[in-house]
Amino acid sequence: MLLQPITLVAMYLTIWWTVIFAILPLGSRSHAEEGIEVKDGGDPGAPVTLNLKKKAITTTWVSAIVFAVLVFIIECGWF
Q: Give the pLDDT confidence of 23-67 residue by residue, as tens digits.
A: 999 999 998 888 888 888 888 888 999 999 999 999 999 999 999
Q: Is residue 2's pLDDT more than 90?
A: no
| DSSP string across 7-76 | HHHHHHHHHHHHHHHHHTTTT--BHHHHTPPP-TT--TTSBS---HHHHHHHHHHHHHHHHHHHHHHHHH
**Rounded CA separation 54/59 (Å):** 9
Structure confidence at residue 56 (pLDDT): 97
